[in-house]
Amino acid sequence: MIEINSFGVLGGDQRQASMAESMAADGYPVLCAGLEHVKGKNLKKAGWQEALKADYIILPLPVTKDGVTLNAPYAATELLLDREFFEMLKGKKVFCGMKNTLLKAGDYFKELTLLDYSKREEFAVRNAVPTAEGALEIAMGEYDGMIAGSRCLVTGFGRIGKVLSGMLKGMGARVTVSARKPEDLAWIEIYGYTPVSTGKLSEHQGFDFIFNTVPTMIFDAYTLAKTAQGAILIDLASLPGGAECRDAQEKARPGEVGLAFSFH
Amino acid sequence: MIEINSFGVLGGDQRQASMAESMAADGYPVLCAGLEHVKGKNLKKAGWQEALKADYIILPLPVTKDGVTLNAPYAATELLLDREFFEMLKGKKVFCGMKNTLLKAGDYFKELTLLDYSKREEFAVRNAVPTAEGALEIAMGEYDGMIAGSRCLVTGFGRIGKVLSGMLKGMGARVTVSARKPEDLAWIEIYGYTPVSTGKLSEHQGFDFIFNTVPTMIFDAYTLAKTAQGAILIDLASLPGGAECRDAQEKARPGEVGLAFSFH
Amino acid sequence: MIEINSFGVLGGDQRQASMAESMAADGYPVLCAGLEHVKGKNLKKAGWQEALKADYIILPLPVTKDGVTLNAPYAATELLLDREFFEMLKGKKVFCGMKNTLLKAGDYFKELTLLDYSKREEFAVRNAVPTAEGALEIAMGEYDGMIAGSRCLVTGFGRIGKVLSGMLKGMGARVTVSARKPEDLAWIEIYGYTPVSTGKLSEHQGFDFIFNTVPTMIFDAYTLAKTAQGAILIDLASLPGGAECRDAQEKARPGEVGLAFSFH
Amino acid sequence: MIEINSFGVLGGDQRQASMAESMAADGYPVLCAGLEHVKGKNLKKAGWQEALKADYIILPLPVTKDGVTLNAPYAATELLLDREFFEMLKGKKVFCGMKNTLLKAGDYFKELTLLDYSKREEFAVRNAVPTAEGALEIAMGEYDGMIAGSRCLVTGFGRIGKVLSGMLKGMGARVTVSARKPEDLAWIEIYGYTPVSTGKLSEHQGFDFIFNTVPTMIFDAYTLAKTAQGAILIDLASLPGGAECRDAQEKARPGEVGLAFSFH
């Protein structure tokens, strides 16, 4: 007899709900708690206690925002990350993202079998999608013109650069992508973007948007003054931030850098 | 000797500025007034009086929002649509959009040679792009999930339907498009969307978004209850509004229509 | 009681077989004859006589190639378009493409209820796809280089122009499309191709391919010499042929028009 | 004083000619020999002797097909890979692809400074494009139906898999891609293809085409019988060949594997 394990999905937002739905569609028994106010999903909802009886528990990303309660903005009631919660998790396989946040909430959580899904490469790949959409939403909100026909520079052709370039092109923008490695430049060309070697960024200008995805400092003062002239600069790189955005914004003379957003 | 006529571009927003830029790039002498606060554009700026000396005058769309001053949100000073303004336009070719708005501001404007560019088919085509982007921006703002992977229904395959479907697909959404005419359904399939005959809309459901572009009533109560169940409904059709959005929203029981936006 | 009519699908090639499959998948009873050697399809096969008992008969496009037998290259046996065949069709609804071809095979066919599907707009739309693929196949076969990165000019933005431009772009080509109407030029730009006004074709050159879809004479000797210089010219327009291909090829000095194909 | 080195480009086909053109467009002095019959290119043509005087020599890929003469199908005269040729190359930087082929033509070639461009990652990336186009051309030639709407399986998401999937989608095919790694499956989904885990290939069937890009044996007899049923199988993997094509074709009962092509 094959026994299918049951899953308890706790808290989180739309993405957590979508994941629960997709698992249920694959035939797994899934119980959801803390997603009471998520709209229009066919989820089997349960109380915290009931969902915690499942064999596998899936916690949201991040697991907590305040260090005290589970991250569950759509929950009817809150769930404390206390010893009682810990006791219910004991002996189960617990999936979570950014597990250090949980460990800070209580030492005893270290005793659990925690599987950090945010460290998996495919998780990082999939996570590039909401990041790219977030950047696009900022871009649409801040720009008076249209994305279609706008001149966009994406620095870096990693996960976010790849996804974002594709979306911008899909929206009708004219997309330039910078990279260092010759093979990335070859891919950039194959995908139909204009390739620019990172070292030659200052030779290119006239962009409406610059989306920085490179976590190191690639825009020096000179490149900023040339390339970012009049552009809206949206920084998607992890700290310490390649574009030195805040700095750029403060120092920028009017008309130099249009606007700068840090997006972490 | 070929004499090239000069153009005076007055007021408007980013689009008016882009148009001025594009004409200047084509070699025409262009003077702009009332675009003082538009960011980072290489426009030859002038005062109202000076720009009004050009042979051709291009007014914004709409020409006025308050019926009293020119629509010029990026202007340093306002321009009254008074008799003095009228006198300066006399004898010139004046391009404007939605000329009835101008005629309401003063009877004497009827004496002018007014060319209404908003009636040209290619204008309507190009105007579908900002409309589609606006709809996408609303969608991104209202939805907790991602556009990528979401299930979108676009009703109608006219100008806006065509542009919007392309953008949604470019963002990675799963796009269904409804139309009445068999040749439109053939095109919908060729472009890679799922075609649905308008008459069979009620057989399809499970959408995250419904973008209505059809100006007649295609969603009756039954279709709304079935197809729009749990979806975010964004109405892009001209009044009187195919989706009867407001009505739908008011009558909808919780979980029936997620949200409804009227977008005119 | 709902009675579903049965369909007899006779002769034709892969497309006829796909159509039969798709109808069967929609729940209609379908019998196929003359498709014995079509590979790997789940078709309910029958003899000519049996299939001809169905309520509706679907004949291939074209109905005949030799004027004597049914066009059925994948059939085990041939079917004569004789009086016996006519008698079996009497009283049935008969769908066919290019019905004049059938009428030439025998006067008595005029007595039948013939529905010519090749005259329907959606049929013409769908038919643009194999035409565009055929053009692409010729292009791939004749060109030593790659389609990806090649510079392609498509003249005309009708059905074939639309489909072919999309395929070329999908293959990574740099696509320029010419049209006469301003709204077509607006669409061409929105879809991400370079728009060229038909009247200004001679100002553009350096193409690797020119795909002509315009059935009137748009390439005069001067335009040919300038625009088609060194290009492979593939003529997709109906006779009498816009590009005057044969003529062009004969008159062309070496290096003027690379190659010219007439594709009807 | 900056001295720009001159390049001698020898033999090869359209690709070699395009490369020469692109270098000349970048401002380098380029002399071509052995490309006399390449159509319509603005190349500075020279004799073998003259081109061999350049500082850098670029040899074609492969360098030779017969082991005796340079691979130069478009040359007016042939060039022997003899000691005289070797003497002219001495002291120069010589770029070539698959240098072992040259070394077999004569031991003395080992003394040269040979830079094998075929080992560079970006070369392999760019080379995926003609390979994918070649596969598509075979597919178009062998299939009675259309690529648009056809069901294609691409096994493997390496360089060729990525490029080929994009082209097939660009042509309107319904594309399924198999991969082993979870992050590849995530990318496959993001790019809009249907992802299939390599281990579960046998659960999927009904394909019109299978393009194999995996150089190991992923199709066992069972998977072949299930997945490749009725499909045209095109093998793009390097030998020894993942699909065991020849074997498959020989063993296949009628209707099992439609056709099989080995493409090396």
Cis amide linkage into residue B195, ω under 30° from 0: no
What confidence tens digit (pLDDT) does each residue in C124-148 have?
A: 898 899 899 999 999 998 887 789 9
For residue A173, give the nearest of A144, A136, A219, A141 by alpha carbon: A136
Q: Give me the phi and psi of B95, to 5 degrees please.
A: -95, 130
Contact residues, chain B, for C130 at CB < 8 Å: none
Nearest to D148 among C129, C143, C144 (CB): C129
Write out the two tokens for A1.
């007899």
Predicted local distance difference test score (pLDDT) of residue D82: 92
Average pLDDT over residues A40-57: 86
Do residues B241 and B262 make contact, with C-beta atoms less than 8 angstroms apart? yes
Query: Which residue type is seen at A138?
Result: I
DSSP conformation class of A69? B
Q: A194 forms bridges with which residues in the sheet? A: A176
Chains in contact with A, where contact requires at least 3 CB pairs less than 8 Å apart: B, C, D
Predicted local distance difference test score (pLDDT) of residue D243: 40
Contact residues, chain C, for D137 at CB < 8 Å: 137, 140-141
Q: B97 forms bridges with which residues in the sheet? A: none
Q: Which of C59-73, D67-81, D240-254 is predicted with the least confidence, judged by mean pLDDT?
A: D240-254
- How many cross-chain Cβ pairs, A to B, lie less than 8 Å apart? 86
Do residues B234 and B263 make contact, with C-beta atoms less than 8 angstroms apart? yes
Identify the closest residue of chain A to C190 by CA–CA distance.
A172
Q: How confident is the model at residue C186 (pLDDT cuts 50, 70, 90)?
A: very high
Contact residues, chain D, for C147 at CB < 8 Å: 133
Report the distance separating Cα D29 and Cα D47, nearest Å. Answer: 15
- Which residues on chain C place their C-beta less than 8 Å from a C-beta of chain B? 120-122, 124-126, 128-129, 163, 166, 181-183, 185-187, 190-191
Average pLDDT over residues B236-248: 49
Q: Which of B153-157, B165-169, B237-241, D240-244 is predicted with the least confidence, judged by mean pLDDT?
A: D240-244
Predicted local distance difference test score (pLDDT) of residue D24: 83
Contact residues, chain C, for B192 at CB < 8 Å: none
How many residues in chain B?
A: 264
Q: Give me the phi and psi of A244, to 5 degrees please.
A: 45, 50
For residue B70, give the nearest of B83, B85, B88, B84 by alpha carbon: B85
For residue C182, give the nearest of B120, D34, D174 by alpha carbon: B120
Do residues B245 and B262 make contact, with C-beta atoms less than 8 angstroms apart? yes
Write out the two tokens for C62.
């074209």
Report the distance separating Cα C138 and Cα C209, nearest Å. Answer: 11
Report the distance separating Cα C162 and Cα C158, nearest Å. Answer: 6
Residue C157 has pLDDT above 80, yes or no: yes
CA distance D191 to chain A (A): 9
Report the greatest alpha carbon distance in chain A: 72
Query: Which residue type is seen at B51?
Result: A
Contact residues, chain A, for D190 at CB < 8 Å: 125-126, 128-129, 163, 166
Contact residues, chain C, for A148 at CB < 8 Å: 190
Average pLDDT over residues B80-91: 92
On the 0-12 / 13-18 / 19+ scale of CB atoms within 10 A, B100 is exposed
Domain residue spans of chain C: 7-119, 128-262
Residue C98 backbone zone (phi > 0: left; psi -120 to 50: alpha; other: beta): left
What confidence tens digit (pLDDT) does each residue in A184-220 have?
A: 999 999 999 999 999 888 889 889 999 999 887 677 7
What confidence tens digit (pLDDT) does each residue in A128-170 have?
A: 998 999 999 999 988 878 899 999 999 999 999 999 999 999 9
Q: Which SS3 state, helix, strand or coil, does residue C221 take?
A: helix
Helices (H), C62-175: 83-89, 99-105, 121-142, 159-170
Do residues B12 and B26 make contact, with C-beta atoms less than 8 angstroms apart? no
Contact B126 C182 (CB under 8 A): no
Nearest to C129 among B166, B183, B190 (CB): B190
Q: Which SS3 state, helix, strand or coil, does residue A241 take?
A: coil
What confidence tens digit (pLDDT) does each residue in D91-143 have?
A: 899 998 888 889 888 889 999 988 888 788 888 898 899 899 999 999 998 88
Residues A127-262, CATH architecture: 3-Layer(aba) Sandwich (3.40)
Task: Using the Cα atoms of residue C86, residue C88, residue C92 and residue C98 in order, give the sign of their dihedral.
Answer: negative
Shared fold status for D7-119 and D128-262: yes
CA distance A126 to chain D (A): 6
Predicted local distance difference test score (pLDDT) of residue D238: 56
Contact residues, chain D, for B189 at CB < 8 Å: 149
Chains in contact with D, where contact requires at least 3 CB pairs less than 8 Å apart: A, B, C
CA distance D192 to chain B (A): 7
Predicted local distance difference test score (pLDDT) of residue D1: 38
Task: Using the Cα atoms of residue C64, residue C70, residue C75 and residue C78 in order, give the sign of their dihedral.
Answer: negative
Contact D40 C255 (CB under 8 A): yes
Residue C244 has pLDDT above 80, yes or no: no
Q: Which residue's structure tokens are 């305040």?
A: A66
Write out the two tokens for A107.
């030492």
Predicted local distance difference test score (pLDDT) of residue A254: 36
Chains in contact with C, where contact requires at least 3 CB pairs less than 8 Å apart: A, B, D
Contact A129 B146 (CB under 8 A): yes
Nearest to B126 among C122, C124, C186 (CB): C186
Tell me what percent of the residues of chain B surpass a pLDDT of 70: 87
Residue B73 has pLDDT above 70, yes or no: yes
Contact B148 D190 (CB under 8 A): yes
Q: How confident is the model at residue D192 (pLDDT cuts 50, 70, 90)?
A: very high
For residue C190, give the nearest of A2, B106, B160 by alpha carbon: B160
The full 3-state SS of chain B, as one line of letters, equals CCCCCCEEEECCCHHHHHHHHHHHHCCCCEEEECCCCCCCCCCCECCHHHHCCCCEEECCCCCCCCCCECCCCCCCCCCECCHHHHHHHCCCEEEECCHHHHHHHCHHHHHCEEEEHHHCHHHHHHHHHHHHHHHHHHHHHHCCCCCCCCEEEEECCCHHHHHHHHHHHHCCCEEEEEECCHHHHHHHHHCCCEEEEHHHHHHCCCCCEEEECCCCCCCCHHHHHHHCECEEEEECCCCCCCCCHHHHHHHCCCCCEEEEEECC
Contact C185 B122 (CB under 8 A): yes
Q: D174 forms bridges with which residues in the sheet? A: D151
DSSP string of A191-223, one letter each residue: TTPEEEEGGGGGG----SEEEE--SS----HHH
Average pLDDT over residues B14-43: 82
Do residues C188 and C213 make contact, with C-beta atoms less than 8 angstroms apart? no
Contact residues, chain B, for D190 at CB < 8 Å: 148, 172
For residue C212, give the nearest of C150, C143, C164 by alpha carbon: C164
Residues C7-119, CATH architecture: 3-Layer(aba) Sandwich (3.40)
Contact D126 A185 (CB under 8 A): no
Report the greatest alpha carbon distance in chain B: 72
Q: C235 forms bridges with which residues in the sheet? A: C212, C262
Report the distance separating Cα A46 and Cα A30, nearest Å. Answer: 10
Report the greatest alpha carbon distance in chain D: 71
- Which residues on chain D place their C-beta less than 8 Å from a C-beta of chain A? 120-122, 124-126, 128-129, 163, 166, 181-183, 185-187, 190-191
CA distance C225 to chain B (A): 26
Report the distance separating Cα A81 and Cα A48, nearest Å. Answer: 12
Report the distance separating Cα D131 and Cα C24, nearest Å. Answer: 37
Q: How confident is the model at residue D181 (pLDDT cuts 50, 70, 90)?
A: very high
Nearest to C122 among B120, B129, B186 (CB): B186
Contact C167 D169 (CB under 8 A): no
Report the distance separating Cα A242 and Cα D187, nearest Å. Answer: 25
Contact D121 A163 (CB under 8 A): no
Q: CB atoms < 10 A from the CB of D238, how many?
A: 11
Contact D146 C137 (CB under 8 A): no
Q: Which SS3 state, helix, strand or coil, does residue D261 take?
A: strand
Q: C212 forms bridges with which residues in the sheet? A: C155, C235
Residue C260 has pLDDT above 90, yes or no: no
Element (H, E) at C115: strand C113-116
Question: What is the CATH number assigned to the segment(s) D128-262?
Answer: 3.40.50.720
Report the distance separating Cα D171 and Cα A89, nearest Å. Answer: 51
Predicted local distance difference test score (pLDDT) of residue D151: 95
Tell me what percent of the residues of chain C surpass a pLDDT of 90: 48
Q: Give me the phi and psi of B17, to 5 degrees please.
A: -65, -40
Highest average pLDDT, of A48-57, A69-78, B93-102, C169-178, comes from C169-178
Residue D247 has pLDDT above 70, yes or no: no
What confidence tens digit (pLDDT) does each residue in B149-167 have?
A: 999 999 999 999 999 999 9
Report the distance separating Cα B26 and Cα B23, nearest Å. Answer: 5
